[in-house]
Structures are given as C-alpha cells and as structure tokens.
Amino acid sequence: MVVQRSIGFGRGVLFCRWLTPETLGQWEMAYSFLLLAAPLAVLGVPGSFGRYLEHFRQRGHLHTFLKRTAGWTIVCGVAAVALVVWFAPQFSQLLFGNGQQVRLIQGIALCLAAIILHHTLTSLLIALRLFRIVSAMNFVHSMLFAGLALGLLMLNASASSIIIGYGVACLVASLGTIAWIGPELRNVEQPTDALPQSEFWPRMLRFAFFVWLTNVLSHLFAIVDRYMIVHVSGMPSAEALEQVGYYHSSRIIPLLLVSFADMFSGMIMPHLSRDWEAGRRKQVSRQLNLSIKLTCLGMVGFGVCVLLFSPLLFEVVLAGKYTAGLAVLPWTLAGCIWYGIFLVSQNYLWCAEHARLAALPLAIGLVVNIGLNLLLLPMWGLYGAVVATGISTLICLLTILWLSKQHGLKLDQGSWLLVLLPAVLPAGASVAAVAWLVILVITLKTNLILTNHEQIKLRKMLRDTLEKTGPFLRWIPSTTSRASS
C-alpha cells in the first residue's frame, strides 16, 4: 500500500507538471464521473457481496449466486455504457460545460465498462476473503496506470491519454485476475436444488439499495463542488475547467490523508465489531474515542507540515503553475481531514447496525454543500467552493457524531475539541503549528484530552510497537554498515 500510494503521488505530480490546468480539470471531471457512475450503474449489487456471498455458499448455492449476480452486472454495465454513448453530447455538457467533447465521452464510456469489471472483481474477491489477490490486482493496476498514462502523455498531453491508460490498466488487471481465479470459480459445486428467484433477489436488493444510496451520496458529496464550478460559477467552460485543475492540484496530498483514514477505518472495524458482539459496548466507545483523537492529532500534525512545505511543493515541484491551488490548500486540507475523521466515526453506526442512518449525514452535508456553493461560488470563485466543501464536511461529521451519541456512543470533551482542531489550518502555517503544539503538550501533560485510561493504553501501544519494530530498526544500521564496507 505504501508503494501504491507513493506511485499515485508521483503520478499526480507529473500530471500537474505535464498538463495545463484546463486539461487537468478535464481529467478531474472525467475521473469524478467514473467513480460516481461505476457503482451507480450496477445498482449496488456488488456492494452486497460481502454480506450475502457466504450466506448462499453455506446453503450450497454459491454457483447460483455467482451466475445470477454476474448476469445482473453484465446487463447493467452494458446498459450504462450504451446510455453514455447514446447521450454523449448531453454528458459532455454535464461534465465539461460544453457539448463538443463527444469523442472523449465515448472513451469515458469504454473506460466505465473496464472500471465496472474491476470493481465487481474486487468486491467478489474481498467477499471470498482472497485479500492477497486483491492486493496483487490493485498493485498491478496502479503500476500499469502510471506507466501507460505517463507514456501516452509523452505522445499526447491530453485527458484522453490518461483515460485510455486508466481503462486499459483496469482491464488488464481484471483479465489477469480472472485467469488466476477462473479455474477455481469454474469448479464451484453445482447446487443440488433450485433456488427460486423470489428467495434470492428481494432480501439482497433491499440491502444493495442502501449500499447504493450510501455510495451515491458519498460520491455526490465528494464531487458536487467541481460540478458547481463548471455550471454555477458563471465562468466560460475553459476557465471553469482551469479552476477545477487548480483545485485538483490542491488535493494531491490531502487525499493521501483520506486514503489513510479509509485504511485505518477498515483496520479498526473488526476489533470494534468483536467487542460489540461480545457485549462490550463501553469498550467500543473507548476505542472509537481514542481512534478519533489519534486520527485528529496525527492528520492535523501532518497538515501543518504540508502547509510549512507547500511553497516548495507548488513553486518547485509543480513548477509554479498552480498558485491558485496553493491559495486554497489550507481549506482543502481541513475538509479532507474532517472527511477522514468521518470515515473513522461512521464505524459506530455500522457496528450498531444502523446502516440507514449512516447515509443521513451525507445527505445533509450534500444539501449544505450545494447551498453554500450557490452563495459563495459566485462571490469568491474557487476559494468559495473549497470553503463551502470544508464547512459542509464539518457539518456532516458533527451530524454523524450526534447520531452516534443518540445510539450510545460516549464522546468525551477531548474528542469534541480535537474534531474542531482542523479549523486552525486556514489561519496559516504559523498559527496552525502553534495551536497544534499547544494541543499536543496539553495532550501529553494533562488528562484534559486523553483520559488516564487512554494515556495508559497509548503508552502500551507505543511500547508494543517499539518492541515489534526494534529488531527491524536494529537491522537497518547493521545492513547499512555492511553495505558501506
């Protein structure tokens, strides 16, 4: 994962250096659309694999499950691709603010088919608990995307080159995975009895609907500001796409924080679920409180470092092409940190089996985001869009914490204080650094933020980590000295 993220960061930097802001904005709009359209097209059915594959396998109907869901995905995927191709001028107007990018939209439609295949395979392999194959597939995809996209950009610096590279990488990684696991899937035992359609689809589709709804809301919430820049700012389409390109440059590093939070959320979920199923509800609250606090402290500290070194990144690494991105970076960081904390916080409602409520904060945040963009975007341009997204993300986070509190989550004063800490980032690097250091000292020297129980647990975690990494750390100098000699 570290290698993948490093490759992704380097790829993003080169995209910014090699492309004009307008072309980068085209890629950002296309990529945002693909992430939204892929789960939308298949109506959330692959998202239900993790919940129902094992259910049908234990009843001897894994073959039936695979056959029917594969048919569903193929039919929905073909229909989605045909729809995008048929209405290419309208989708061009939606994505780019003009109806002249029909050829690009047709390429996006073909890329969408490859992404649907890739996402469906990923969901299937996770449901089968074949995580090593998922890791290998994602690693191959990341490497191929970087190599193909950058190679094509050297021949033709356009958004279509990146889209071709992304689609081909998805297709090759997916076909290689199918060749790897195909023999095992073909040998799945045939069912001994027929499974009526009425016993197969209703329950799974109800679950899939809420997965679909959550996916749609989360992706709409993530991309609505860029669409409003294109359609509501009042700028010509070329200028609006330039602003989207500037916005993309400010998100390269903050999105690494979101990626980390997503990974961390998935890591702690099994532990929270185990305590919940064992009836240790207070332990779940304690674990989640500590997780929120450490996530806030760590990500805000990283954000401060990003702000301190941001002139170097934008003036040297990005060749001074994205000064508007540098101007909105503090708010972009704050919004991404709040969204990362949201990803960690939503685990409580998942544990408590209130999946429907998990979509409500996203819906509220989406409405607030649209309203604030309508107000701020015409006045402040890109800066207004980023501020609107940051504020709406905070409201989304506060809403899910309030809902979790109503269903038993015990949040202490330290958690509430640290949740608001990212608000210091827009004040500037110096103010944010001082504020973070003050909070860090208070955290380490008092129990106003970390309780006595949390301090003891944190010290134990650090001690265990040092014990496990000690041999590795001792190995590094000896290896270096041998290499030197």
Cα dist. 130→48, 51, 142, 281 in Å?
Answer: 16, 15, 19, 30
Q: What pLDDT was estimated at residue 467?
A: 75
Cα dist. 151→142, 162, 164, 248, 331 in Å?
Answer: 14, 9, 11, 21, 33
DSSP assigned state of 233: S
What's the pTM value of the predicted model, to 2 decimals? 0.85
Token representation of residue 118: 């890739």
Tell how far CA 338 is from the center of its chain.
13
Distance separating alpha carbons of residues 432 and 424, to the nearest angstrom: 5
Q: What is the dihedral of CA 82, 37, 134, 272, to 10 degrees?
A: -150
pLDDT in tens, the chain (485 residues): 778 888 888 999 999 999 999 999 999 999 999 999 998 999 888 877 776 777 788 888 888 888 889 999 999 999 999 999 999 999 999 999 998 999 999 999 999 999 999 999 988 888 787 878 888 998 999 999 999 999 999 999 999 999 999 999 999 999 999 998 888 777 777 777 787 887 788 877 877 787 788 888 888 998 999 999 999 988 999 999 999 999 999 999 999 999 889 878 877 877 787 788 788 888 889 899 999 999 999 999 999 999 999 999 999 999 889 999 999 999 999 999 999 999 999 889 877 877 778 789 999 999 999 999 999 999 999 999 999 999 999 999 999 999 999 998 988 888 999 999 999 999 999 999 999 999 999 988 888 888 887 888 777 877 777 776 666 555 544 443 433 33
Distance separating alpha carbons of residues 373 and 389, to the nearest angstrom: 8
Distance separating alpha carbons of residues 288 and 344, to the nearest angstrom: 8
Q: What pLDDT was estimated at residue 2?
A: 75
| CB count in 10 Å sphere of residue 126 | 16
Distance separating alpha carbons of residues 240 and 96, to the nearest angstrom: 9
Token representation of residue 442: 């208070």
Helices (H) and strands (E) in the chain, counts: 19, 0
SS3 category, 417: helix
| CB count in 10 Å sphere of residue 314 | 22
Phi/psi class of residue 44: alpha, beta or left (left: φ > 0; alpha: ψ in -120 to 50)? left
Cα dist. 378→61, 96, 231, 392 in Å?
Answer: 56, 18, 11, 17
Distance separating alpha carbons of residues 475 and 470, to the nearest angstrom: 9
Cα dist. 198→194, 195, 203 in Å?
Answer: 12, 8, 9
* Site of tokens 């979790």: 404
DSSP assigned state of 315: I
Token representation of residue 74: 């193929």
Question: Per DSSP, which regions of 53-111 are E strands?
Answer: none
Q: What pLDDT was estimated at residue 481?
A: 40
Q: What pLDDT was estimated at residue 462?
A: 76
Distance separating alpha carbons of residues 123 and 148, to the nearest angstrom: 25
| CB count in 10 Å sphere of residue 227 | 20
- The one-letter code for the residue type at 228 is M
Question: Per DSSP, which regions of 104-223 are E strands?
Answer: none
- The one-letter code for the residue type at 451 is T
Distance separating alpha carbons of residues 420 and 390, to the nearest angstrom: 12
Token representation of residue 77: 């995927």
* Site of tokens 């997503």: 262
Q: What pLDDT was estimated at residue 252?
A: 92
Q: How far apart are the first and last CA of the chain?
A: 33
Distance separating alpha carbons of residues 250 and 385, to the nearest angstrom: 13
- The one-letter code for the residue type at 98 is N
Q: What pLDDT was estimated at residue 434?
A: 96
Q: What pLDDT was estimated at residue 478?
A: 45
Token representation of residue 319: 């060749």
Assess contact for 272 and 288: CB atoms under 8 A: yes
Question: Per DSSP, which regions of 23-132 are E strands?
Answer: none
Q: What pLDDT was estimated at residue 470?
A: 62
Token representation of residue 452: 């006595």
* Residue 80 backbone dihedrals phi, psi, to 5 degrees: -65, -45
